[in-house]
Amino acid sequence: MHARFSTLCFLLAGITRAQTGVTNPISEDCGPSVVCINKYANVLPYHFFRRLSTADVPSTFGDITYGNGTRLNDVKSADFLVFDKERGLELLGSKPSYEFMFKVPEVVHEAPVYVASQNKLYLSQLTPGYLPQLVVDLNQDPPKLSEYLSNPPVYAPNGGTFHNGKIVWGASGGNGSIGGSEQRLGLRTVDPKTNKSTTLVNNYFGYYFNTIDDVAVHPKTGDIWFTDPDYSWWNSLTDTAPQLPTASYRYNATSGAVFVVDDSITQPNGIAFNPEGTLVYISDTGAGRNTVDPKFGQHKNTFNSSVGHRTIYTFDLSEDGTRATNKRPVYLSPEYVPDGLKVAANGYILTGNGRGVDVLDSFGQLLLTVQTNYTVQNFAWTGPELKTLWLMGAGGISRVEWDLAGQELK
């Protein structure tokens, strides 16, 4: 009897050791440089491992290893990763393409604004000195990248959009001697016809803003919403320490009034509206932390993906488009932090997320990822149908052709 019991225990132990439900295959070829991930790879073979992102090297899905160190080499090298096969492949269309266009310095490249009347894409480069900006002339074949300056120059634009025939830039830097004059953080417009820039607002009741990271215009009211984390002081973009808590604001051009719309997010960063103007999305990049080194007294920007926030939140907007309520998380970034944020014409959400751009439906389900070999900070749609997406970041500018159109900005 004792021997039978021992044999039964041995057999049961063997059964419990066997892994069940493993996704097989984890990935498969879905077209030229397109790889589909089956069932979101939700059951990986043991032992699997994925390293955490760092400030210098974001972790990607292709970094996962499993079994005896097996690597997802096809995933790592693909331009497009499709997680929802039906919708993802539809968005890519029959001939999707990814092309690395320009090598640029290993610094932040931000604030892309497409001016359709000129067929040019304006963007910033946050290099030492923070001037000049850049412009991509899309009328030439191949497109040409050159330097650009408005008059007076806008210091360190970190967010941008197009509205009423003008570029709207959020200037994230300021001090007392920029080109011989004083400039402070604020909302600026640039007329692309004349290159003349104008300041819309540069203070909140006499206090300096912290950063002005990203901007978006409500599609119905025309109010400019912007996020204000506290990165600029820590990154030496301004000579004044933060005077305000991190928050997001709404600027009404008619009255000149600035309203706080949320102060619950650790580091509010990207901001975007759905086409109907009934929802606003704001990303929290609080995983990037600002600290002071106690030994040397130096400012440091560190990154901890296991502790800090790296989440996109959705808010409902009031009928008149002035108030944001009912905050809830819609996406926890698996890569790095959700930096640049845009909403497509069909309501899908796009975010610059480490080494690429993630495409989500309005509920936060990841549909596909565009993979790059550099960290993407922001992106913008261009072209007559707004189906060309330009990506820019630390070290590169690239171009995607697909069937996902952006919203027309007027």
- Answer yes or no: are the C-beta atoms of 381 and 387 closer than 8 Å: yes
pLDDT of residue 11: 47
193-221 pLDDT tens trace: 999 999 999 999 999 999 999 999 999 99
Burial class (CB in 10 A: 0-12, 13-18, 19+), 61: buried
Higher pLDDT, 127 or 135: 135
Strand, coil or helix: what is 258? Answer: strand
Is 297 a residue whose pLDDT tops 50?
Answer: no
Is 10 a residue whose pLDDT tops 50?
Answer: no
- Answer yes or no: are the C-beta atoms of 133 and 125 closer than 8 Å: yes
Averaged pLDDT, 294-314? 67
Averaged pLDDT, 399-403? 98
Nearest to 337 by CA among 269, 237, 279: 269
pLDDT of residue 182: 82
pLDDT of residue 54: 77
Is 12 a residue whose pLDDT tops 50?
Answer: no
Q: Tokens standing for 260?
A: 């706080």
Backbone angles phi, psi at 36, to 5 degrees: -95, 135
pLDDT band at 175 (very low <50, low <70, confident <90, very high): confident
What residues pair up with 204 in beta bridges, in sequence order? Answer: 207
Weakest-pLDDT range from 9-18, 170-179, 261-270, 311-320: 9-18
- In Å, what is the CA distance from 89 to each residue of 60, 346, 403? 21, 15, 9
Averaged pLDDT, 260-273? 97
Is 53 a residue whose pLDDT tops 90?
Answer: no
59-114 pLDDT tens trace: 899 999 998 889 999 999 999 999 999 999 999 999 999 999 999 999 999 999 99
Nearest to 396 by CA among 139, 107, 136: 107
Break the chain into its structural domains and give their ranges: 27-78, 84-401
Greatest Cα-to-Cα distance within the chain, rounded to the nearest angstrom: 96
Q: What is the pTM of this model?
A: 0.92
Q: How far apart are CA 311 and CA 289, in angstroms?
A: 15
Residue-wise DSSP of 117-148: TTTEEEEEE--TT---EEEEETTSSS-EEEEE
Please name the residues in contact with 294: beta carbons below 8 A apart, sequence gap of 6 or more.
Answer: none
Superfamily of domain covering 84-401: TolB, C-terminal domain (2.120.10.30)
pLDDT of residue 3: 54
pLDDT of residue 59: 87
pLDDT of residue 303: 62
Percent of the chain with pLDDT over 90: 75
Mean pLDDT estimate for the chain: 90
Q: How far apart are CA 293 and CA 99, in angstroms?
A: 41
Number of helices (H), then strands (E), in the chain: 4, 33
Percent of the chain with pLDDT over 70: 90
Higher pLDDT, 370 or 240: 370
Is 293 a residue whose pLDDT tops 50?
Answer: no
- Answer yes or no: are the C-beta atoms of 25 and 47 closer than 8 Å: no
Strand, coil or helix: what is 76? Answer: helix
- Answer yes or no: are the C-beta atoms of 159 and 170 closer than 8 Å: yes
pLDDT of residue 358: 98
